Amino acid sequence: MDALLPRVAPLADRGPELILQDDTFFACPNGRLKLRAFPSGAGQLIFYARADQAGPKESHYILSATAEPDSLRAALTAAWGENGRVRKTRTLFLVGRTRVHLDRVQGLGDFLELEVVLADGEPAQAGVAEAHALLGKLGITPGQLIETAYVDLLRAAGA
């Protein structure tokens, strides 16, 4: 992460913003369901679906804000079962319409994640091209990309 900060900062329109996130994942047959809690006491219930593949991938998601993430976590755990927990410190930059996340994931290490926010009706390929161009500017090679989510990496590591 320390090596990427000086590469990302000159490209950024905004940032860095430091965000602490505590994500709890629940059993979900049609994608992923997670509850994200913030130190402020606020939270978000997030459903998303995306392919497990290396490189850029399309993601569809639904966000629902909550003022009581702890009680919601307890209810969802009782109803659906907990599938894992990911705690991370995210350093967020905005490069155009791309969210650049430098993530320090507890139990895993440091990662870079890009999210290109597409306009309604815009083809996914436009975002893929944008992501590849930014990866090139940052010096990230295809061999450095991972296929799976942090929660899956933690589960595979036995954490």
**Chain segment 123-145, per-residue pLDDT in tens:** 989 999 999 999 999 999 988 98
132 three-state secondary structure: helix
Tell me the CATH number at 128.
2.40.320.10
pLDDT of amino acid 53: 66
DSSP-derived secondary structure for 29-54: TTSEEEEEE-TTS-EEEEEEEE---S
DSSP 119: P
10 Å Cβ neighbour count for 119? Answer: 8
* Residue 120 structural domain: 5-156
Using DSSP's 3-state secondary structure scheme, residue 89 falls into strand
Overall number of domains in the chain: 1
Closest CA to 139 of 17, 24, 3, 2: 3
Beta strands in 51-123 (DSSP E): 59-66, 82-95, 98-105, 109-116
Taking the model in full, what pTM does it have?
A: 0.89
* Neighbouring C-beta atoms of residue 8, cutoff 10 Å: 21
**Mean pLDDT, 10 residues at a time, the chain of 159 residues:** 92 97 96 97 95 73 97 97 97 97 97 93 92 95 88 90
